[in-house]
Amino acid sequence: MSSVNSISQPPVSIGIIGLCVVIFLLQNLSASLALWPIASGSFEPWQIVTYGFLHGNFNHIFFNMFALWMFGLPIERIWGSQRFTLYYMVCIIGAAVTQLLVQQVSGEFYPTIGASGAVFGLLLAYGVMFPNNRIFLIFLPIPIKAKWFVVIYGGLELFFGVTRSLPQIAHFAHLGGLLFGAVLLWNWGWRPGMTWKR
């Protein structure tokens, strides 16, 4: 992959974090901004984007924004804001499309909110760009290389989604963010085993 100009300040990442926090604090936005299943009668096209800026509780927004800060800032510094924004939006929309397809097949009728789909895409990009950086998990305080963290976390999401464990979490939306992020990275020239040329 070709390198891109780095930036010292990541305005898009910080802006997304700020926007999500402001929206969370308002707590009175229309439910029409959440992602509703197509068959529910409440689906609107803009929801494939707006759902990614809504969060249900403090833990939900804290962990998503912490992950965005941890993975998004270094990625945007290297890619630049334009490429970062494109990647983030592709992951948000890809996660939404995946969730809608799964709900259409399963017949489930609950709304989806949160930036987790995009965060999973960023996690993949981070694993590609910094494969040997070590990540510490709160519930597993053992350093894990980023590339293995992506594989393990993705595998867990697939397991939980197929077995319908933790049904309050949109596991397939997370996997959709990973998948669409991988497709875009592939289109940009990345292949498994390669790292991003910085």
CB–CB of 1/186 below 8 Å? no
DSSP β-bridge partners for residue 191: none
Compute the distance between CA of residue 124 and CA of residue 103 in angstroms, rounded to an integer.
Answer: 24
Task: Quote the tokens at residue 18.
Answer: 């700020």
Mean pLDDT calculated for residue range 79-106 = 95
Residue 192 has pLDDT above 70, yes or no: no
Instruction: Name the pTM for this structure.
Output: 0.88
- Give 173-186 pLDDT, tens digit per residue: 999 999 999 999 99
pLDDT at 36: 95
Residue 100 has pLDDT above 80, yes or no: yes
CB–CB of 47/34 below 8 Å? yes
What are the extents of the domains in the chain? 11-187
Q: How far apart are the first and last CA of the chain?
A: 9
For the chain, how long is the longest CA-to-CA vector?
46
- Give 31-53 pLDDT, tens digit per residue: 889 999 999 989 999 999 999 99
Main-chain dihedrals φ then ψ at residue 197, nearest 5 degrees: -80, 110
- Give 149-164 pLDDT, tens digit per residue: 888 888 888 888 887 7
Q: What is the mean pLDDT of the chain?
A: 87
Question: How confident is residue 3, by pLDDT bands cut at 50, 70 and 90?
Answer: very low
- Give 126-154 pLDDT, tens digit per residue: 999 998 888 876 656 778 888 888 888 88
**Which fold, 11-187?**
Rhomboid-like fold (1.20.1540)
pLDDT at 71: 94
Residue 96 has pLDDT above 90, yes or no: yes
pLDDT at 173: 93
pLDDT at 2: 44
Task: Quote the tokens at residue 71.
Answer: 């993975």
